[in-house]
Amino acid sequence: MVKRIVIVEDDPDQRDNYVDAIIKKGYDVTAFSNREQALKGFDNELPDLAILDIILGDEVDAGFEICRDLLSKSPTLPVIFLTERIAEIDKISGLRLGAWDYLPKPISLDYLAERISSLLRIKEARVQSASGSTSAKMVGDLSIDQEALLVSWQDEPINLSGTEFRMLAKLVRVPGHAVSYDTLMNATMQSLVTNNTINTHMRNIRKKFEAIDPEFDCIKSEYGFGYRWSVKQ
């Protein structure tokens, strides 16, 4: 079945370019120019994946509001923010809302199409994992499935963003070995990442584990170098 992609973008030239590029990849595409149109459209039918700008017309946080509404209807729906708002606080806000990716404008249309394809594959892998087919790796109390981007701790699922998941995967690849800031920066797949950005991501990851296990203490800081995953004895 052809996957349905929805784009919410108020710039008509950008919107047309996105639509043309994604249709060429074999997807069914619907586009909206503002929040009101998008919400009405979602009431009729939900997409397989949504691409949202954040600023729509005079509404500076419209994309965030659309994302919140979408995920209340379908919590597992892949959402991509595609925006000129690239401040770290905006990225963190978008990912905390539950977006699967946060991409800056301008963007290569080929790269955008590849991200769509990748996230749809991940969604399918998660469906298969939920049905009992899994490729999860166990590291102590941690279960990590790199195909479905799923993590659980003591059999309790943990909702990590894509960036957080990739950083965790680097940490647990060789438990006990220190992972450098440079390696963790590469895992974010973003440019202009600082050590402070990595530290912020690590604090967020720790908090999510601690919400399940207040005694969680597997992520160790290696001062001036990076982080290490320490397996409980």
CATH code of the domain containing 51: 3.40.50.2300
Across residues 198-213, what is the average pLDDT? 91
Q: Judge whether 81 and 103 are in contact, CB under 8 Å.
A: yes
Is 123 found in the same domain as 149? no
Confidence at residue 193, expressed as pLDDT on a 0 to 100 scale: 82
Structural domain ending residue among the three candidates 127, 147, 162: 127
Structural domain ending residue among the three candidates 74, 107, 127: 127
Is 146 found in the same domain as 120? no
Is 146 found in the same domain as 51? no
Is 54 found in the same domain as 138? no
Q: Output the domain CATH number for residue 189.
A: 1.10.10.10
Work out how many domains the chain is built from and give that number.
2
Confidence at residue 92, expressed as pLDDT on a 0 to 100 scale: 79
Structural domain ending residue among the three candidates 68, 95, 127: 127
Is 164 found in the same domain as 66? no
Q: Judge whether 101 and 81 are in contact, CB under 8 Å.
A: yes
Share of the chain above pLDDT 70, in %: 95
Is 122 found in the same domain as 14? yes
Q: Per-residue confidence at 190, pLDDT binned at 50, 70, 90?
A: confident
Confidence at residue 89, expressed as pLDDT on a 0 to 100 scale: 85
What is the span of the domain harbouring residue 219?
Answer: 134-229
Give the largest Cα separation in the chain, rounded.
58
Across residues 167-186, what is the average pLDDT? 93
Q: Is the pLDDT of residue 130 over 70?
A: no
pTM greater than 0.75: no
Is 122 found in the same domain as 9? yes
DSSP-derived pairing of the beta strands 226-229 and 178-180: antiparallel
Is 160 found in the same domain as 104? no
Is 154 found in the same domain as 81? no
Is 161 found in the same domain as 100? no
Q: How far, in Å, CA of 221 to CA of 72, rounded?
A: 36
Is 18 found in the same domain as 83? yes
Is 44 found in the same domain as 29? yes
Q: Per-residue confidence at 148, pLDDT binned at 50, 70, 90?
A: confident
Confidence at residue 21, expressed as pLDDT on a 0 to 100 scale: 95
